[in-house]
């Protein structure tokens, strides 16, 4: 979108709050009018009180005090109303982003990048809010400039002409900067979004990152993105140095010209000394805003780029929309489903469904079965119209879904997706998500039907237990049961079950299936089945392969006539699989590898031809964080930059001195030139002043560039160090901390700290040094008047002392709420399809709006305090100037000081308080950056990381002998141990299956081996060494981990497989896929191994993701395999092939396999049964069949092998 159009739309958003806009404009006019009167009053004092004594001093003093009161009230009102307008518009934009998100269809959802979306909601909206907050101040400066020019024309057209000569140069500089700064700002904002995307992907896939010890790789990815951001922002710094110094210097150059011409005219009597004083005062009023104009120009250009990016999101439109005149699905319509010659493909790829014709009669249960990628889940998505077919038609209740309203269509379905996503909140809130008004007994009934009531009731909080973000505090099976309960509670007309029991144990599955038989009786049901136990629920079974219908019929009919069906179920026909083989397959050696083709996983990290890292920082920034740093503070942050900071401080001193001494030339021009009618002296002083301006321009140029570059280096360094500490933390941190809050720390909090370091220190230093210099000169000129000027300082210090803690509390509350809002946005992005399926988009938008409103209110509380504080700071100069005039005029009359000295004293008082105001504004920035830095310090200080030995043992290979010695582990905040009293030995090379009910502690047990957590007590030993003594990175590189949820990083299929070995060749990648039986499935994808993988692997089916995860583990040739139910999303035939492959892969290696199904456990050398965190039985599969609890699991599975009733 063109930036100008974006600004026009932003104006339209602002005009929704007309009362606030009108109030801000009125306050701006009042404040500007009052400021405009001050130089005129000072002119009157000089000309008619001091020089001619024709007017009394008291009326002038009263007038000055009155203007000060008006400026206080109007200034405070302007600042608050500007803040209110900016936060109101930001609130509206944020809600519109959320509403747009809620309307997106499947295609647009697939295009979403959660990290970049959150970046726009954080960084870009913050830029927009900052722009709106600046607008009244910009308007005030513009009004002051125009009105002052008008007054100056009346006072002296000739002198005004000097200013008008400067004006075109100012306009040219601003316009020239527009063309270059906007492009640089746009590039920087885009790179900021890329950085946010890297952070988000790393946080979302933390199980995979830690499982493959790729923390350093992820840090290098962030480093590459941060380098490009550094390059883009460095360009802004360079441009800002040029334009900023010019915009600051031109008004001073005009002031030197006014001194030359005005002094010459005053010496000849053409104008009065008071008129020259008024001109000098007006110019002084303009100089202070111009010093901040450089930052303003940069901010405006960045905000323009952000406005365009925000509206780009808001303008995103779904491709699937309701047709004009769409009808609601009639409640009396039959609950039938029909796919008529349906063809569909994702994007421009090959069709996933090709000519599929299928029907489900009312009350019938149809099972879909087929290999990974055959289109089973796609059918579910078409039924709920997340996508539109490219050929044929989908009908529900006899009506084409394209002719129905989306709300009525989706309300007919109850969906259990293949990913059991839960929202942050309590268990009850998640079950009742589709029916928030459901009673407690209804919620319990749904939980009982889903087999969840027993484990929920055992929790200390029962149904009020928080599940954490994405439900990560629960096991995969527990999440799946709650997702099923959520669907059952809405009592849908049509039930969609996408492999709804893949992650539960057979005993629980049998109980769920028994309940489902009652639930599905008489209810139309479509279920994706990967196991015979699920097929037993169906009246008919449809066999899919490569998007086509192979056959459809009852189980018995298909077994009799469909060879493909028999192949798919062949694996489960074997009740007792043979143990794992003992001879490993050969693994391709690097010598046999081929070079990697373009787009294959061996490609290096993307780079940018202009990207560069800050010199001398990369090693320090990307070094792994080994332990908490509780003492990390500003000193540690700034230590690597001490030389640059010292150079910047020296330039700041010189910059401040050039501004401090400039008014002395005006004094010399008046006292030694004008009063003595010495025009040569006046011109000499003007030339000297012009020389100081030129030198000051060079100093200012260098100061802006040096301090700007230092700030960018600090931003780069802090972000990478914080990221390194983020990866130091164990999974408990990620399970308790919302991803949105983490994103806020790595984005807006880092930005706040770096921005203050970039400009805050320099501005504060310039202000303090300017104030000190002016105080020295004030005392050297006239110490009594200097004491008068200093009288306001104690008042200001007292007010600041009272203000600071109150504002700090307000900013803390606002930052905390910002994390809540960002977390909610990210969670809603992930759970969007569920929200649409359950008709909750409107409710969720209202809930999001409520949280956004709380954030807005928290920010406005801080701004009310700031408005009062700054109003007082702006009032003090008028009060002090009045006192200086009263006493100074008297001293001029008595000959104690000269008129020129009084004029300079007034200029210095004005400049002193302008510097004081800048310092107060720095205090506001300091408060915000201090709050942000405290939040970042939490990462550095958090003790949740796995400990690192002082001298860790280097791991090159592992034999794989694993021992648990009285191991106990309890999750932080839990009321009981997840595992307790574990004594277990796994000899090297043994394949151990860990079996038990859902939530028994199986995954926790193997995660302790992978060092996702450290044991609360006891020790886990590998090859005789405590795992805490081993180098954790080197140790994890010898493990091959397949987690319960197969998260994939964005890229290509080949890159996803090569995640643990980014330097692997294409040959090695393909060999790994072949070794786990994944090659045939993956090679059929459009592009094969170059097929794109979207964020999290959403572009692939669950089975395809799981196959890639297995190949990813195989590629690194691990010494120890850890498989957490690695085949739960595979069809039986593929599962059988993969299980055989796993048997070959684990030969000669230690393997820990979390098994929810005894047929997986039966292949292991040994099986341990876990119950309530304890090992209750151990032995081979045959031996454990005599153990009642284990046998019960097997009996339920064996019962499923019996022929199903047609």
> What pLDDT, in 10s, does the model give residues 510-527?
777 777 787 888 889 998
Give the pLDDT band (50/70/90) at residue 121: confident
**128 and 267 fall within a common domain:** yes
Q: What is the DSSP string of 599-656?
A: TSTTPPPP--TT--PPTTTHHHHHS---S--TT--HHHHHGGGHHHHHHHHHHHHHHH
What is the tens place of the pLDDT at every residue in 550-608? 999 999 999 999 988 888 876 555 444 444 444 444 433 333 333 333 343 333 333 33
CA distance 499 to 555: 18
CB-based burial label for 685 (10 Å; 0-12, 13-18, 19+)? buried
CA distance 1145 to 1160: 15
Give the residue from 883, 903, 935 where a domain finishes: 935
Question: Is pLDDT above 50 for 968?
Answer: yes
Provide φ and ψ at 395, rounded to 5°: -125, 140
**314 and 386 fall within a common domain:** no
Question: Is pLDDT above 50 for 1205?
Answer: no
Give the residue from 935, 969, 988 where a domain finishes: 935
User: Given CA atoms 566, 571, 572, 576 in this order, what sign does their dihedral have?
Assistant: positive
CB-based burial label for 895 (10 Å; 0-12, 13-18, 19+)? exposed
Distances 470 to 98, 255, 828, 972 between C-alpha atoms, Å: 19, 63, 10, 17
**121 and 268 fall within a common domain:** yes
How many structural domains compose the chain?
A: 2
**423 and 370 fall within a common domain:** yes
Question: Is pLDDT above 70 for 53?
Answer: yes
Residue 1046 located in a structural domain: no
Give pLDDT, residue 290.
Answer: 57
Mean pLDDT over 623-638 rounds to: 74
Query: The CATH number of the domain where 728 resides is what?
Result: 1.20.1560.10
Instruction: Show the domain range for 538.
Output: 352-546
CA distance 702 to 707: 8
CA distance 607 to 169: 40
Residue 998 located in a structural domain: no
Give the pLDDT band (50/70/90) at residue 613: low
Question: Is pLDDT above 60 for 1129?
Answer: no
**What percentage of the chain exceeds 90 in pLDDT?**
15
Q: What is the DSSP string of 338-393?
A: EEEEEEE-STTS--SEEEEEEEE-TT-EEEEE-STTSSHHHHHHHHTTSS--SEEE
Question: Is pLDDT above 90 for 360?
Answer: yes
Give pLDDT, residue 591.
Answer: 34
CA distance 42 to 36: 11
**296 and 363 fall within a common domain:** no
Residue 1119 located in a structural domain: no
Beta strand 540-545 pairing with 365-369: parallel
Give the residue from 877, 910, 935 where a domain finishes: 935
Question: Highest-confidence range of 104-113, 176-185, 545-554, 889-898, by mean pLDDT?
Answer: 545-554
Distances 509 to 484, 502, 521, 969 between C-alpha atoms, Å: 12, 9, 18, 27
Residue closest to 232 by CA, chosen among 178, 191, 194: 191
Residue 968 located in a structural domain: no
Provide φ and ψ at 942, rounded to 5°: -60, 125
Is 351:137 a contact under the CB 8 Å cutoff? no
Give pLDDT, residue 598.
Answer: 33
Q: What is the DSSP string of 210-239?
A: HHTT-HHHHHHHHHHHHHHHHHHHHHHHHH
Question: Highest-confidence range of 485-489, 634-638, 720-724, 1042-1046, by mean pLDDT?
Answer: 485-489
* Beta carbons within 10 angstroms of residue 444's beta carbon: 20
Higher pLDDT, 758 or 884: 884
**310 and 357 fall within a common domain:** no
Which residues on adjacent β-strands are paired with residue 1020? 964
CA distance 523 to 521: 5
Give pLDDT, residue 364.
Answer: 92
CA distance 600 to 609: 21
**832 and 697 fall within a common domain:** yes
* Average pLDDT along the chain: 80
Give pLDDT, residue 429.
Answer: 92
Give the pLDDT band (50/70/90) at residue 886: confident
Residue 996 located in a structural domain: no
Is 702:916 a contact under the CB 8 Å cutoff? no
Residue 437 located in a structural domain: yes
**524 and 637 fall within a common domain:** no
Residue 1048 located in a structural domain: no
Is 189:305 a contact under the CB 8 Å cutoff? yes
Residue closest to 1190 by CA, chosen among 507, 412, 464: 507
Question: Highest-confidence range of 220-234, 722-736, 942-956, 1143-1157, by mean pLDDT?
Answer: 220-234
**445 and 534 fall within a common domain:** yes
CA distance 543 to 834: 27
**373 and 307 fall within a common domain:** no
SS3 at position 1001 = coil
CA distance 1177 to 1192: 13
- Angle (CA) 527 532 523, round 5°: 30
CB-based burial label for 917 (10 Å; 0-12, 13-18, 19+)? middle
Token pair for 261: 């011409």
Is 701:242 a contact under the CB 8 Å cutoff? yes
Beta-sheet strand order (sheet of 1150-1155): 1039-1042, 1120-1124, 1150-1155, 991-996, 1166-1171, 1174-1179
Give the CA-trace dihedral at 300, 305, 309, 315, to 10 degrees.
80
Mean pLDDT over 891-897 rounds to: 78
What is the tens place of the pLDDT at every residue in 154-212? 888 888 887 777 777 777 776 777 667 777 877 887 888 888 888 888 888 888 888 88
Lowest mean per-residue pLDDT among 41-55, 317-331, 769-783:
41-55
Residue 1152 located in a structural domain: no
Give pLDDT, residue 914.
Answer: 72
- Which residues, other chains included, contact 541 with Cβ-Cβ below 8 Å and sequence gap of 6+? 366, 367, 368, 369, 529, 535, 552, 553, 554, 555, 558, 565
Query: The CATH number of the domain where 394 resides is what?
Result: 3.40.50.300
Helix (H) or strand (E) holding 415: strand 413-416
Q: Whole-model pTM?
A: 0.74
Question: Is pLDDT above 50 for 638?
Answer: yes
CA distance 983 to 1168: 11
CA distance 819 to 827: 12
Question: Is pLDDT above 80 for 1002?
Answer: yes
**249 and 371 fall within a common domain:** no
Question: Is pLDDT above 90 for 985?
Answer: yes
Question: Is pLDDT above 90 for 788?
Answer: no
**164 and 85 fall within a common domain:** yes
Beta strand 1120-1124 pairing with 1039-1042: parallel
Q: What is the DSSP string of 268-284?
A: TTSS-HHHHHHHHHHHH
What is the tens place of the pLDDT at every residue in 16-33? 999 999 998 898 888 888
Q: What is the DSSP string of 1134-1194?
A: HHHHHHHHHHHHHTTSEEEEEESSHHHHTTSSEEEEEETTEEEEEE-HHHHTTSHHHHHHH
Which residues on adjacent β-strands are paired with residue 337? 360, 396
Helix (H) or strand (E) holding 527: strand 524-528
CB-based burial label for 775 (10 Å; 0-12, 13-18, 19+)? middle
Residue closest to 628 by CA, chosen among 924, 1086, 942: 942
């Amino acid at each position: 979108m063109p930036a100008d159009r974006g600004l026009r739309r932003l104006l339209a958003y602002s005009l929704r709050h007309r009362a606030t806009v009108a109030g801000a404009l009125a306050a701006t006019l009042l404040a500007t009018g009052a400021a405009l009167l001050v130089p005129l009053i000072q002119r009157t004092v000089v000309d008619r009180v001091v020089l001619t004594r024709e007017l009394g001093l008291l009326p002038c003093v009263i007038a000055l005090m009155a203007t000060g009161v008006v400026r206080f009230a109007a200034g405070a009102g302007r600042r608050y109303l500007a803040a209110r307008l900016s936060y109101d518009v930001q609130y509206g934009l944020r809600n519109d982003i959320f509403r747009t998100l809620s309307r997106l269809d499947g295609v647009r959802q697939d295009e979403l990048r959660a990290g970049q979306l959150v970046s726009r909601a954080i960084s870009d909206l913050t830029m927009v809010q900052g722009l709106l907050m600046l607008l009244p101040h910009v308007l005030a400066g513009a009004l002051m400039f125009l009105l002052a020019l008008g007054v100056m024309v009346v006072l002296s057209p000739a002198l005004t002409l000097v200013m008008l000569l400067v004006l075109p140069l100012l306009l040219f500089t601003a316009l020239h900067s527009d063309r270059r700064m906007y492009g640089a700002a746009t590039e920087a904002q885009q790179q900021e979004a890329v950085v946010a995307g890297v952070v988000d992907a790393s946080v979302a896939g933390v199980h995979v990152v830690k499982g493959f010890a790729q923390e350093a790789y992820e840090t290098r990815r962030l480093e590459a993105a941060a380098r490009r951001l550094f390059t883009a922002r460095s360009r802004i710094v360079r441009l800002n140095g040029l334009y900023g110094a010019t915009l600051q210097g031109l008004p001073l150059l005009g002031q030197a010209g006014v001194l030359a011409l005005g002094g010459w005219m005053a010496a000849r009597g053409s104008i009065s000394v008071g008129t020259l004083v008024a001109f000098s005062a007006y110019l002084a009023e303009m100089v202070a805003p111009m010093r901040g104009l450089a930052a303003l120009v940069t901010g405006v250009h960045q905000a323009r780029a952000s406005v365009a990016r925000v509206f780009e999101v808001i303008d995103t439109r779904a491709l699937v929309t309701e047709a004009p005149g769409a009808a609601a699905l009639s409640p009396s319509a039959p609950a039938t489903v029909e796919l008529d010659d349906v063809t569909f493909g994702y994007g421009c790829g090959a069709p996933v469904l090709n000519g599929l014709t299928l029907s489900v009669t009312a009350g019938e249960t149809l099972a879909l079965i087929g290999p990974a990628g055959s289109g089973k889940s796609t059918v579910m998505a078409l039924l709920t119209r997340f996508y539109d077919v490219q050929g044929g038609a989908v009908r529900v209740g006899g009506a084409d879904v394209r002719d129905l309203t989306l709300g009525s269509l989706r309300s007919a379905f109850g969906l259990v997706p293949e990913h059991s996503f839960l929202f942050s909140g309590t268990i009850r809130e998640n079950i009742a998500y589709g029916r928030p008004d459901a009673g407690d007994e209804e919620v319990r009934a749904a939980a009982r039907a889903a087999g969840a009531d027993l484990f929920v009731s055992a929790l200390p909080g029962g149904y009020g237990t928080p599940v954490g973000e994405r439900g990560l505090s629960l096991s995969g099976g527990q999440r799946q049961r709650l997702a099923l309960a959520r669907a059952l509670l809405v009592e849908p007309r049509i039930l969609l079950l996408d492999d709804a029991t893949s992650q539960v144990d057979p005993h629980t599955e049998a109980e769920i299936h028994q309940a489902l038989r009652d639930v599905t009786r008489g209810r139309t049901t479509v279920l994706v089945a990967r196991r015979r136990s699920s097929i037993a629920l169906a009246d008919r079974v449809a066999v899919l392969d490569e998007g086509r219908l192979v056959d459809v019929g009852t189980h018995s009919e298909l077994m009799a006539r469909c060879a493909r069906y028999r192949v798919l179920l062949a694996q489960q026909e074997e009740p007792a699989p043979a143990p794992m083989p003992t001879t490993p397959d050969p693994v391709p050696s690097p010598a046999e590898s081929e070079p990697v083709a373009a787009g294959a996983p061996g490609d290096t990290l993307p780079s940018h031809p202009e990207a560069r890292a800050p010199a001398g920082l990369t090693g320090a920034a990307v070094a792994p964080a080994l332990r908490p740093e509780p003492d990390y503070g500003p000193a540690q942050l700034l230590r690597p930059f001490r030389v640059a900071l010292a150079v910047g401080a020296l330039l700041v001193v010189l910059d401040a001195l050039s501004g401090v001494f400039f008014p002395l030339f005006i004094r010399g021009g008046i006292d030694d030139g004008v009063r003595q009618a010495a025009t040569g002296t006046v011109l000499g002083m003007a030339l000297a002043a012009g020389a100081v301006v030129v030198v000051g321009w060079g100093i200012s140029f260098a100061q802006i560039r040096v301090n700007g570059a230092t700030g960018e280096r600090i931003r780069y360094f802090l972000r990478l160090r914080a990221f390194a500490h983020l990866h130091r933390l164990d999974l408990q941190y990620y399970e308790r901390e919302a991803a949105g809050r983490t994103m806020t720390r790595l984005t807006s909090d880092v930005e706040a700290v770096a921005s203050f370091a970039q400009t805050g220190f320099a501005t504060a230093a310039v202000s303090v040094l300017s104030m000190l210099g002016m105080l020295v000169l004030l005392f050297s000129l006239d110490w009594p008047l200097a004491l008068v000027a200093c009288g306001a300082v104690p008042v200001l210090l007292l007010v600041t002392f009272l203000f600071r803690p109150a504002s700090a509390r307000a900013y803390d509350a606002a930052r905390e709420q910002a994390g809540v809002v960002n977390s909610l946005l990210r969670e809603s992005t992930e759970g969007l399809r569920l929200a649409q399926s359950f008709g909750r988009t409107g409710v969720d938008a209202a809930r999001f709006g409520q949280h956004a409103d709380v954030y807005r209110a928290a920010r406005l509380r801080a701004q009310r305090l700031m408005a009062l504080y700054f109003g007082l700071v702006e009032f003090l100069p008028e009060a002090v100037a009045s006192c200086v005039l009263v006493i100074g005029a008297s001293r001029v009359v008595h000959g104690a000081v000269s008129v020129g000295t009084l004029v300079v004293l007034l200029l210095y008082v004005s400049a002193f308080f302008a510097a004081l105001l800048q310092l107060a504004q720095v205090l506001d920035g300091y408060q915000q950056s201090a709050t942000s830095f405290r939040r970042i310090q939490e990462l550095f200080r958090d003790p949740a990381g796995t400990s690192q030995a002082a001298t860790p043992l280097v791991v090159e290979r592992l034999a794989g002998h694993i021992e648990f010695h009285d191991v106990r582990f309890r999750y932080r905040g839990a009321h009981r141990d997840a595992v307790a009293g574990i004594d277990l030995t796994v000899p090297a090379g043994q394949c151990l299956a860990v079996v038990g009910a859902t939530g028994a502690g199986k995954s926790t047990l193997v995660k302790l081996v992978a060092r996702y957590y450290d044991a609360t007590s006891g020790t886990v030993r590998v090859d005789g060494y405590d795992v805490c003594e081993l180098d954790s990175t080197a140790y994890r590189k010898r493990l091959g981990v397949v987690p319960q949820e197969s998260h994939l990083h964005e890229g290509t299929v080949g890159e996803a497989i090569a995640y643990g070995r980014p330097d692997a060749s294409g040959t090695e990648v393909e060999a790994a896929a072949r070794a786990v039986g994944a090659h045939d499935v993956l090679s059929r994808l459009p592009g094969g191994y170059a097929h794109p993988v979207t964020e999290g692997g959403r572009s692939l089916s669950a089975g395809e993701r799981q196959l890639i995860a297995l190949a990813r583990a195989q590629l690194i040739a691990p010494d120890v395999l850890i498989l957490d139910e690695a085949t739960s999303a595979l069809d039986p035939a593929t599962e059988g092939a993969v299980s055989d492959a796993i048997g070959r892969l684990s030969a000669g290696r230690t393997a820990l396999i979390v098994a929810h199904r005894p047929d997986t456990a039966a292949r292991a050398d040994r099986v341990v049964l876990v119950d309530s965190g304890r090992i209750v039985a151990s032995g081979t599969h045959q031996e454990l069949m005599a153990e009642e609890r284990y046998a019960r699991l097997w009996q339920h599975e064996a019962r499923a092998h019996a022929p199903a009733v047609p």
